[in-house]
């Protein structure tokens, strides 16, 4: 069983999948309590698209140390205020019809196993929900999915020398999208938490 910290700063309830994935534990906390969180207890910290990035920048040293110690951070959204050294501001892509919105699988990674380009491109037959730009990846990052004919990096994963991992998704919250697109329930989302908690596919992070 993995243990994860879901940080929120909105009055809405946490997503339902947190309670539905009973094989993992999710602690939900206000982002502004981050300075009191015992980060080493968690396999990963989840940051939503609504995160206060100015506040995260104030907590940069703690987050940086957590990654250096082998922890993982999953960030969703558009980088406006880089709060880790690997992050740079979001760049929107041009909108030129369907092909500019098409998502391409770039790496055969277990995080997205079983998902096709079309799974990620379309939601209820409509394109454009997954991402419309990129948070440019740093050198050494593994690009998982890209956008449009220019193959702009949309999802990327970086492993630090100490084993810490940073997963960045340049769009609305990735897990909410995957839940809505998953005909088999929560299998697509469960795969992420199995991976970050050291499940069977976790060794793929080094390939």
Both tokens of residue 162? 């100490």
Cα→Cα distances 188→54, 163, 170, Å: 31, 24, 18
Distance between CA atoms of residues 203 and 125, nearest Å: 35
For the chain, the distance separating the N- and C-terminal CA atoms, rounded to the nearest angstrom, is: 24
- CB neighbourhood size of 35 (10 A): 9
CA 47 to chain CA mean position, Å: 8
Please tell me the predicted confidence (pLDDT) of residue 11. 81
pLDDT at residue 202 above 80?
A: no
- CB neighbourhood size of 54 (10 A): 10
Mean pLDDT of the chain: 92
Distance between CA atoms of residues 107 and 116, nearest Å: 11
pLDDT tens for each residue of 91-149: 999 878 899 999 999 999 999 998 999 999 998 889 999 999 999 999 999 999 999 99
Residue 52 makes CB contacts below 8 A (sequence gap 6+) with 9, 31, 32
Q: How confident is the model at residue 199 (pLDDT cuts 50, 70, 90)?
A: low
Helix (H) or strand (E) holding 63: helix 60-68
pLDDT at residue 206 above 70?
A: no
Architecture category of domain 3-206 in CATH: 3-Layer(aba) Sandwich (3.40)
pLDDT at residue 169 above 70?
A: yes
Torsion, Cα of 177, 1, 6, 138 (10° steps)? -70
Domain boundaries, the chain: 3-206
Give burial (CB, 10 Å; 0-12/13-18/19+) of 188.
buried
């Amino acid at each position: 069983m993995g243990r994860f910290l879901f940080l929120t700063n909105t009055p809405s309830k946490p997503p339902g999948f947190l309670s539905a994935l009973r094989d993992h534990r999710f602690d939900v906390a206000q982002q502004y309590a981050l300075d009191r969180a015992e980060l080493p207890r968690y396999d990963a910290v989840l940051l939503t698209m609504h995160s206060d990035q100015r506040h995260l920048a104030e907590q940069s040293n703690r987050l940086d140390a957590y990654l250096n110690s082998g922890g993982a951070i999953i960030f969703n959204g558009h980088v406006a205020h880089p709060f880790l050294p690997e992050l740079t501001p979001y760049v929107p892509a041009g909108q030129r019809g369907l092909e500019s919105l098409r998502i391409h699988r770039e790496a055969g990674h277990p995080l997205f196993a079983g998902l096709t380009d079309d799974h990620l491109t379309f939601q209820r037959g409509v394109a454009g929900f997954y991402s419309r730009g990129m948070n440019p990846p740093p050198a050494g990052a593994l690009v998982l999915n890209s956008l449009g004919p220019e193959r702009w990096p949309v999802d990327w994963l970086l492993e630090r020398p100490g084993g810490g991992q940073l997963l960045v998704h340049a769009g609305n919250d990735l897990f909410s999208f995957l839940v809505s697109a998953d005909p088999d329930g929560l299998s697509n989302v469960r795969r992420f938490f199995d991976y970050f908690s050291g499940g069977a596919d976790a060794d793929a992070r080094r390939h």
